[in-house]
Each structure stands twice: as C-alpha cells, then as structure tokens.
Amino acid sequence: MTPGTDTSAFPGTGTGSARADIGVIGGSGFYEFLADTERLSISTPFGDPSDDVLIGDLGGRRVAFLARHGQGHRIPPHHVNYRANLWALRSVGVRQVLAPCAVGSLRPEHGPGSIVVPDQVVDRTWGRDHTIYDAVGPVVHVGFSDPYCPRGREAVVDAGRAANKHVVAEGTLVVINGPRFSSRAESTWHQQAGWTVVGMTGMPEAAIARELALCFTTVALVTDHDAGVDAGGAVTHEEVLQVFARSLEGLKSLLKSAIGAMPAPEDDESALCSCRRSLDGLRLPFALPR
C-alpha cells in the first residue's frame, strides 16, 4: 500500500450495520462457532482475507469470526494473509481478538489437551508479510516487548480454571514456518532454550495485531508432544487432527466463557488498554479503519 492510500475506498473499512467488538480467528472445527450470523465479504488494501467474516451474538457480545485457513482448511500457515485477516476484523469494529491455535508441547508436563495462554513469543518464520507498514513514508516502530493482551489472557485463564481445565497461565510460543513439523534437533534446541510450545500460525499474526492497536490473545491447545519430548515419537498430522477433534468442544466452551468475561469496549480514552495505545504518538503513513 502506498502513502496516502484512501482506505475508505475498500469495502468493510468504514462504519457499517454489522459491527463487533470481539474477534475470534479460528481453525478447523470452528466454522460453526457462531449461530445466526451475518456474512460479510471484505476487501482490504492487502488483498482478501482467508474467508468471509461472520458476525453474530455470543454471551451478550457482538463477535466476529474469521476462519484462519479458510473453509476446508485450504490455506497452509505460510500462505495465510495475516495482514488482510486482522485488517478485516478491525474494519468491522473489532478491538479485542482471541486466536485459538493447535500447538506441540515442548514440556513433558503439558500433555495433549492442555491449554497454554502464552505471555511471550519467538518468531522463527520467514517469507511472510510481517508488517502493514512496509510502504515508503513515515517509519513505524511499534513496541512488542509484551506481545499479548494482559486482560485478554486473564479472562481466558480464569475461564479455563473455572472449568477445571489444565490451563498453563504463561509460557513462550515459538512459531516455525511450517508446513512441516520440527526435526528432533530443532525440537531439542527449542526445549533447551526454555520455550513452552511450538506452532505455525502465531506470527506475524500477533505483531500485526499490535500494529493495528488490537488487543490480542493466543489460546494454544496442545495436540501432541513435539519430536523427542518425553521420549515421544515423531509428530503426525493424523495424530494432531485426532487430538484437536477430541478437545474441540472443550476449547469452544472455554472461549465462549472467556468472551463473556472480556472487558467491555472502553468509552473513556483514559481507560484504554496498553495494547490499544500502541500507536500513540506515532505518525502513520495511512489511516486505519475506524
């Protein structure tokens, strides 16, 4: 996108009748997360998102859902248009995002079915579009020392504990490029570094959310032990899908409870979360959706 682009020319970037304040970016099995939805086809300055945005009511909140990999899980992690996905959500009013994903555990004590709510991330991806601010113009550096929203994380952790789930309240997610799984040597390296779980979709998703001043919370469902952890065997796609399917309803229930406990949209500017203030004082090369 070039400096001075009129973003109002793109469908979905202005105000409209279908609005939501909470967004959920989900994968396989989440296509029926909301009932009685309105479907929006949204174009963005970065191309089309992975799928249409579905907006409906859930727990008294207006929620927008977007399938990260598209219907039928057709888009591999390294080809997901993370920029368009987050822009599309912001364009319908979303300011808080919950992002469930499947991960492998790097710790023997966090077995399949565990929920990890990371507070840190390590990005080992490459070849992806990592920023929305890549045009010539004012250079934009956003802070990313604490990648995830503290209030969103608290809501998810509290909901999980209330449901007596094995919830790990902090940890580091290392994001690999995929679509292959890690080698044993790579897995050992990740374990020795002290990281907690490994996945393929968490970046640049979290960083782009911060560039859009969105509150962003990753909810990582452990589907397997990564290669070589706890003397385990090689990870297989079939194993991941089986565990994810068994754990899906519990994950949906946790997210629905968390959505009901998420902070209401702030009317008072002084009460804004630090995530929402990530662009304060910065000169941007173009306007963001309102």
Q: Can you give the CATH number for the domain in which 180 is found? A: 3.40.50.1580
Total structural domains in the chain? 1
Active site residue 129: no
CB 90 within 8 A of CB 289: yes
Examine residue 191 and state whether it is found in any structural domain, yes or no: yes
What's the mean pLDDT in 98-107? 94
Q: Of 70-79, 127-136, 155-164, 224-233, which gets the smallest average pLDDT?
A: 224-233
pLDDT, tens digit, 9 for 90 and up, residues 233-271: 666 677 777 777 777 788 889 999 999 999 887 767 777
Beta bridge partners of 40: 53
Point out the catalytic residue in the list 224, 230, 268, 280: 224
Examine residue 12 and state whether it is found in any structural domain, yes or no: no
180 Cβ partners below 8 Å, 6+ apart?
Answer: none
Examine residue 281 and state whether it is found in any structural domain, yes or no: no
Helix H segments across 92-201?
150-162, 184-192
Examine residue 6 and state whether it is found in any structural domain, yes or no: no
CB 55 within 8 A of CB 38: yes
What does residue 225 show for φ and ψ, rounded to 5 degrees? Answer: -90, 135
Give the rounded percent of residues in the chain with a pLDDT score beyond 90.
69
Is residue 108 reached through a cis peptide bond, with omega within 30 degrees of 0 on the bond before it?
Answer: no
**pLDDT at position 277 over 60:** yes
Point out the catalytic residue in the list 52, 226, 268, 280: 226
The pLDDT value recorded for residue 238 is: 72
Active site residue 226: yes
Examine residue 284 and state whether it is found in any structural domain, yes or no: no
The pLDDT value recorded for residue 13 is: 45
- Which residues span the domain enclosing 148? 19-265
Q: Which residue has the higher pLDDT, 234 or 218?
A: 218
Q: Of 1-5, 19-23, 171-175, which gets the smallest average pLDDT?
A: 1-5
Examine residue 120 and state whether it is found in any structural domain, yes or no: yes
Examine residue 54 and state whether it is found in any structural domain, yes or no: yes
pLDDT, tens digit, 9 for 90 and up, residues 158-189: 999 998 888 999 999 999 999 999 999 999 99
The pLDDT value recorded for residue 17 is: 65
> In the Cβ-directed half-sphere of 48, how many Cα atoms lie within 13 Å?
10
Measured distance CA(35)–CA(210) in Å, rounded: 29
Q: Running DSSP on this structure, what letter comes out for residue 276?
A: G
Examine residue 217 and state whether it is found in any structural domain, yes or no: yes
CB 140 within 8 A of CB 211: yes
Q: Is 102 helix (H, G, I), strand (E, B) or coil?
A: strand
pLDDT, tens digit, 9 for 90 and up, residues 39-56: 999 999 999 999 999 999
- Residue 2 — very low, low, confident or very high, per pLDDT cuts 50/70/90? very low
The pLDDT value recorded for residue 272 is: 85
